[in-house]
A and B are shown apart, each in its own frame.
Chain A
Amino acid sequence: AIVLNQSPSSIIASQGEKVTITCRASSSISSNYLHWYQQKPGAFPKLVIYSTSYRASGVPSRFSGSGSGTSYSFTISRVEAEDVATYYCQQGSSNPFTFGSGTKLEIK
């Protein structure tokens, strides 16, 4: 199985700050099949970025993604209070589909 090493495990940021999360895969992944989710407490995971860099419907432009091969990143250009959540990367390139370990974002 492809292991996704996600870092950092937690971030404490100020509103307006830029934050970046990294997802490194144990084997190369097609960029079509690397996705990012946002999960707020008590809610289901919400798709934010699909196929590495495409924003899901209704997702603000401050969210972006990039990467290729084994290295991917997710960025919030200016963090807002509503962005408090845990973020996960997920690969669908190889069976079994796997998730990163999650990054918990908190606001100072």
Chain B
Amino acid sequence: EIQLQESGPGLVKPSQSLSLTCSVTGYTITSGYDWSWIRKFPGNKMEWMGYISNSGSTNYNPSLKIRISITRDTSKNQFFLQLNSVTTEDTATYYCARGHYGYPFAYWGQGTLVTVSS
């Protein structure tokens, strides 16, 4: 059974970079599908941030394009989120998820809360 698990710091200072890891078990990320980061803000708004495909290409939400980077380590079956120059408005629960282009996100991690605060 496929499982995704986010990990990373729960507190980041303003202007610094947020870095998260998604560890995938039960499926090899190079075998297929797209591997996304999605966040949920306080107050329930959900935002798709971007994905890295099974081939390694990336697709980012234009609203984040200058600040975001999604990379991977295929040897560890992990993919990563880096979000630069964070502000308090980046405080959210961050999820990793598996999808494929426009088809649904059928598998999600449990989510990790990241608070941006000094």
Contact = CB atoms under 8 A, between A and B. Distances in A.
A102 B44 contact: yes
A105 B18 CA distance: 33
Interface residues of B, number: 21
Contact of A98 (B48, B59, B106, B110): B48
A86 B44 contact: yes
B47 A99 contact: yes
Contacts of B110: 43-44
A102 B44 CA distance: 7
Interface stretch (B25-33, B71-79, B84-92, B97-105): B97-105
Nearest to B47: A99
Given A33-B103, A35-B104, A96 B61 contact: yes
Interface residues of A, number: 28
A106 B104 CA distance: 25
A44 B111 contact: yes
A86 B106 CA distance: 17
Contacts of B108: 44-46
A92 interface: yes
Contacts of A46: 108
6 contacts: A1-B62, A35-B104, A37-B105, A45-B95, A51-B103, A104-B44
